[in-house]
């Protein structure tokens, strides 16, 4: 599989973010709750130094709640890290985030001494949506450009917190193939970056194994398809993705399947889970 995606223009993003972090009190990293590990950039850990770090597990409305809880537990084992699932589109969901910022920086948040926060994360995780919801108005969408520029303005949230008006844009690391597939399945890296049929097979294989009842339920199937290929054929027939001669057009079927998955039409789905902890007893069992 070839990934046709390279954010060459993001080369300076880390340097710029490192500079900005020196002037802020709390880092709000936005992750996709469906794939919190693969949607992070692990270099941020070194940049934030000892600054409090909130990992927002956004798009909580699309993710499996049980898995999200496991991620929150996992992240909060890390020193100085708090994790919060939310849907950035919902104003009420952002209130706990404000409270968390206030609790993490108790010495600031006073007149003339606001808590300075910045939002960072890879493209498409919902950074702009979160900033807009927090600000209560539409700020500029930054797309996938490194948006930490000298023109960054502070938005007063009128609750003792000021926020950069543009988020720090990191790039997904895609160091392993599975992670790249998960990012593609979630829509984070764009449809022209990877071949849709391969991504559809990957997502299909995972869903058949992990969420079989959601698959049969969504497509009204009596039996679970035996393979990702059979699943895409069944989906293609159901959604009318046909080529000449009545055969299923696999690429169109994969695209339709991925659209459904991303929009949450199959149900709440997480694409990755924390690794189970290795206990001393487990280690002892290894020959």
Which spans of this chain sit near ligand G4P (rule: CB under 6 A)? 58-59, 61-62, 87-89, 121, 123-129, 141
- CB of 211 vs ligand G4P, minimal distance in Å: 17
Could you tell me the smallest distance in angstroms from the CB atom of residue 148 to ligand G4P? 13
Burial class, 182, CB count within 10 angstroms (exposed 0-12 / middle 13-18 / buried 19+):
buried
User: Minimum CB separation from ligand G4P for residue 140, in Å?
Assistant: 10
DSSP category for residue 168: E
Collapsing DSSP states into helix, strand and coil, what is residue 117? strand
Quick one: 32 or 272, whose CB is closer to ligand G4P? 32
Distance, in Å, from the CA atom of 237 to the CA atom of 35, rounded to the nearest integer, reads 29
To ligand G4P, the closest distance from the beta carbon of 124 in angstroms equals: 5
The Cα 253–Cα 219 span in angstroms is 13
CB-side neighbour CA atoms (13 Å) of 218: 24
Strand 161-164 vs strand 154-156: parallel, antiparallel, or unpaired?
A: antiparallel
Query: Whole-number minimum distance, CB 54 to ligand G4P, in Å?
Result: 15
Orientation angle between helical segments 250-262 and 196-210, nearest 10 degrees: 60
Nearer to ligand G4P, 59 or 108 (CB): 59
Residue 87: CB minimum distance to ligand G4P, A: 4
Closest-CA residue to 189 (of 142, 128, 125) = 125
Handedness of CA 161, 89, 148, 154 (dihedral sign): negative
For tokens 């223009």, the residue is: 9
180, 174 contact by CB (below 8 A): yes
Q: What is the CA radius of gyration of the chain?
A: 21
Task: Please state the closest distance from residue 28 (CB atom) to ligand G4P, in A.
Answer: 12
Helix, strand or coil for residue 163? strand
């Amino acid at each position: 599989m070839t990934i046709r995606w390279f954010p060459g223009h993001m080369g300076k993003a880390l340097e710029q973010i490192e500079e900005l972090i020196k002037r802020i009190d709390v880092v709000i990293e936005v992750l996709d709750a469906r794939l919190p590990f693969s949607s992070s950039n692990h270099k941020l850990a070194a940049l934030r130094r000892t600054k409090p770090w909130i990992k927002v597990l956004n798009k909580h409305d699309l993710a499996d709640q049980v898995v999200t809880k496991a991620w929150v537990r996992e992240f909060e084992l890390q020193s100085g890290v708090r994790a919060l699932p939310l849907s950035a589109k919902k104003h009420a969901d952002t209130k706990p985030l404000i409270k968390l910022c206030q609790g993490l920086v108790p010495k600031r948040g006073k007149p003339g001494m606001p808590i300075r926060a910045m939002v960072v994360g890879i493209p498409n995780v919902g950074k702009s949506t979160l900033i807009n919801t927090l600000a209560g108005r539409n700020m500029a969408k930054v797309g996938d450009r490194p948006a930490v520029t000298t023109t960054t303005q502070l938005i007063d949230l009128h609750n003792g917190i000021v926020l950069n008006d543009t988020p720090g844009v990191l790039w997904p690391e895609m160091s392993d193939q599975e992670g790249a597939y998960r990012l593609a399945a979630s829509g984070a890296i764009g449809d022209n970056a990877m071949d849709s049929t391969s991504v559809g097979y990957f997502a299909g294989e995972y869903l058949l194994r992990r969420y079989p009842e959601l698959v049969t339920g969504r497509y009204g199937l009596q039996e679970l398809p035996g393979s990702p290929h059979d699943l895409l054929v069944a989906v293609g027939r159901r959604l009318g993705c046909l080529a000449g001669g009545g055969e299923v057009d696999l690429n169109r079927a994969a695209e339709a399947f991925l659209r459904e998955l991303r929009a949450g039409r199959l149900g709440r789905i997480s694409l990755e889970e924390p690794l189970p902890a290795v206990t001393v007893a487990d280690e002892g069992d290894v020959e």
